[in-house]
Structure 1
Amino acid sequence: MKAIYPDLKDKRVLVTGCASGIGASQCRLFLDQGCEVYGIDLHVANIEHARFHFIQLDLMQATDVKVTLEPLARMDIICNTAGILDDYQPSLATDEQLWNQVLNTNLRSMYLVCNIFIAKSLAAQRPLTIVNMASIASFMASGGGAAYTASKHAIVGYTKQLNFDYGKFKIRANCLAPGAVQTQMTQEDFNTNTDTAQKVARQTLIGRYSQPEEIAQATLFLASAVSEYIYGAVLPIDGGFSLGKEI
Structure 2
Amino acid sequence: MKKIFFSLTVFVLFGFQNANSETVKVMLEPFPPLITEDGKGLSVDFLREVEKISDLKFEIMIVNYARAKSELQSGNVDLIGHTPYEMEVPEFYTYSQELKWSINSPADLYSLDAAKISEDSFRTLKRIGTPKGNEGVFSEILAIPVGQFVGGNSVESLLKMLESGRIDALLFERASVMNTMQSQSIHGVYYRNAVHIPIGFAVQKTAKGDQLKTKLESLFKQVDQDKVYEPVNKYWKLSDEGKI
What is the TM-score normalised by the length of structure 1? Answer: 0.29
Q: Which has the higher contact order (CA 8 A, sep 6+)?
A: 2
The structure having more radius of gyration, on CA atoms, is 2
**What TM-score do the two structures reach when normalised by structure 2?**
0.29
